[in-house]
Amino acid sequence: MLTPVEWKSEGISLIDQRLLPHELQLIHYDNVHALSDAITDMVVRGAPAIGITAAYGVVLAARDAFAQSPENWRDIIEDDLALLIASRPTAVNLQWAINRMKGLFVSIEGNPESALLAEAKSIHNEDIAANIRMGELGAGLIEEECQVLTHCNTGALATGGYGTALGVIRTAYTQGKISSVFVCETRPWLQGARLTAWELQEDNIPTTLLTDSAACHLYNQGAIKWVIVGSDRIAANGDVCNKIGTYMHAVTARYHGIRVMVVAPSSTIDLNTRSGKEIAIEQRTKEEILNFSGVKIAPENVSAWNPAFDVTPAALIDYIVTEKGVIKAPDNKKIRRAMR
């Protein structure tokens, strides 16, 4: 099974997702500062994959902190953990993974590396198992063979393996419930065009790529029955924060009578965030908008607005699928019941 992050040779190996689909290259990291830059620079992306990477990053940080002071490593490590948390602030899985790793600190005696590495590997394996489970649950909602649309990349490359929304698509396709998949290019990083289309092609799933702005016209043709997407953070009331453009899909899908399914592990649900209005949206550099493949495409001195995510209100979502179960027409009460 393809996985974008792996612990090997006493460090972390990441697939450089900036180079796909043209080149499959691994980069090895053995210190937190370089790893934090890799998360910020989109070498690795996707909320679950970022969380797994951060968990392994805690192992690296603990190794260095213990080498500096076996007695005070818990204090020394805090600066490195803050650096990891700041690398991508919107994806809640990153903070969740680090908090889970920190929960072990008090019980560790001696060198912390082996205990923390075992926990990081557990987080990784649990994510893969959750993805497979969500694939089964989500596929169960699709009643008959149809065409679906997905936005951004939610496959093996965005997770520990298999995928969230793309995991549902993989499972439903093998069950004969999906005939083909429409994939939005997902500007400005083109995760749909570069990554999702590549993953689906590797699985021999019929795939059609379209520009982000063509989706509404496609919906109007009556060809799409489901929009299936992932999430980087889900608020306690069911509002969903996901890759920029998701809100647009949800609004137009509702108008055209198309159902919306959000697929994400329970670690993505943030009960401390009451609604999507409280989610800090990552603002990325304007250069991602003003340039394309290293070529400037806009006039000199023009400004650009580049939010990485948007928030889709719960009222526009038909189902949220987690490994804990399916939440229909999500709201605060249903979200909290599911998390219990």
Q: Are residues 200 and 182 in contact, defined by beta-carbon separation less than 8 angstroms?
A: no
- The residue ranges of every structural domain in the chain are 5-130, 134-339
User: What's the mean pLDDT in 36-60?
Assistant: 96
- Residue 293 confidence class, pLDDT cut points 50, 70, 90: confident
The pLDDT of residue 243:
97
The pLDDT of residue 9:
80
From the list 193, 187, 243, the residue with the least C-alpha distance to 213 is 187
Superfamily classification of domain 5-130: translation initiation factor eif-2b, domain 1 (1.20.120.420)
Token reading at 258: 């198309």
The pLDDT of residue 294:
86
List the strands of the sheet with 11-15, edge to edge: 5-8, 11-15, 26-29
The pLDDT of residue 227:
98
- Residue 1 confidence class, pLDDT cut points 50, 70, 90: confident
List the strands of the sheet with 309-312, edge to edge: 269-270, 233-235, 240-243, 309-312
Query: In whole numbers, what is the pLDDT of the chain averaged over residues?
Result: 96
Domain 134-339, CATH class in plain words: alpha beta
The pLDDT of residue 225:
98
- Residue 282 confidence class, pLDDT cut points 50, 70, 90: very high
- Residue with the larger pLDDT of the pair 90 and 25: 25
pLDDT in tens, 137-155: 999 999 999 999 999 999 9
Question: What percentage of the chain has pLDDT greater than the value 90?
Answer: 96
3-state secondary structure 106-173: HHCCCCCHHHHHHHHHHHHHHHHHHHHHHHHHHHCCCCCCEEEEECCCCEHHHCCCCECHHHHHHHHH
Q: Which amino acids are annotated catalytic?
A: 232
- Which pTM does this prediction carry? 0.92
Residue 49 CA to residue 154 CA, distance in Å, equals 10
Token reading at 311: 């928030």
* Backbone φ/ψ region at 146: left (φ over 0), alpha (ψ -120 to 50), beta: beta
Task: Compute φ and ψ for 210, nearest 5 degrees.
Answer: -140, 155
